[in-house]
Structure 1
Amino acid sequence: MDRVMKLASEKAVVIFSKSSCCMSHAIKTLFYDLGVSPAIHELDEDPNGQEMEKALQRLGCNPSVPAAFIGGKLVNSTNKIMSLHLSGSLIPMLKEAGAIWL
């Protein structure tokens, strides 16, 4: 849990992902298209990936990926991120975290 929280606070946007997950790919693409350069942690390529996945589940991520942190705060699921984007709330959140300067 400590490792996940430490990594989540190291950059304005942090995404925990799996390289084979299509929803993770969609979220990464959304952030890239918005001009964000997130830190990406591919759990299936990290030696501590299983531990981090369990920690994300304990934080309430179900499924565990993609899990996005903006400004060190868990935003969680694909549905939540897409809802924020469609409602117009995601970009102000990204600006406040210092992830974009539009």
Structure 2
Amino acid sequence: MIPAAESLRPLPLKTQQGNGESVRTVVEENAVIVIGRRGCCMCHVVKRLLLGLGVNPAVLEIDEEKEEEVLSELEKIGVEGGRETVELPAVYVGGRLFGGLDRVMATHISGELVPILKEVGALWL
């Protein structure tokens, strides 16, 4: 059995010095992605909830020195009706900003989260 922490899919991030993927590409190519600061406890809670539901979310952990650059890019993508402030942890579902921990928890408690995840192909059952 693979421990839950090993089943998460950490992603490389393209920076001016490195060879990863761009933030936009990572968000658009994953049904569900959790973006947060490295070691953030709220990010951990979101990841555990999604894993508990059977979703294997992509995870992008941001180092402090790259946070401003990544947040600036995130505010440009996946937001309906213009710019919106993105706070970490940020959960993108189907290439669009879904929200943070509070939105994920509220949607889960109301029973609306699983149908949304099925709609974007993150869950099959």
How would you bin the TM-score normalised by the shorter chain? 0.7 to 0.9
Counterparts of 1:55-94 in structure 2 under 5 Å?
55-56=73-74, 59-61=84-86, 64-94=87-117
Calculate the aligned-residue CA RMSD, in Å: 1.9
SS in structure 2 at match of 1:101: coil
Structure 1 unaligned blocks of 5 or more: none
Shift of 1:59: 3.6
What is the rounded CA distance, in whole Å, between the counterparts of 2:66 and 2:38 in structure 1? 15
Task: Tell me, yes or no, if structure 1 residue 14 matches structure 2 residue 39.
Answer: no
Q: Indicate the structure with greater helix content.
A: 1
Asked whether the equivalents of residues 90 and 99 of structure 2 are also in contact (C-alpha less than 8 Å), the reply is yes
Which AA in structure 2 matches 1:60?
A: T
Cα offset for 1:55? 3.2
How far does residue 72 in structure 1 lie from its aligned partner after superposition?
0.7
AA aligned to 1:28 is: K
Q: Name 2:57's counterpart in structure 1.
A: 38
Segments of 5+ residues of structure 2 without an aligned counterpart are 1-21, 76-82
Aligned pair in 2 of structure 1 residues 32, 41: CA closer, same or farther (>3 Å)? Answer: same
Q: CA shift at 1:48, angstroms?
A: 4.4
Count the aligned residue pairs: 97
**Which TM-score applies when normalising by structure 1?**
0.83
Shift >4 Å, 4+ stretches: none
| Matched-pair contact (CA < 8 Å) for 2:37–2:61 | yes
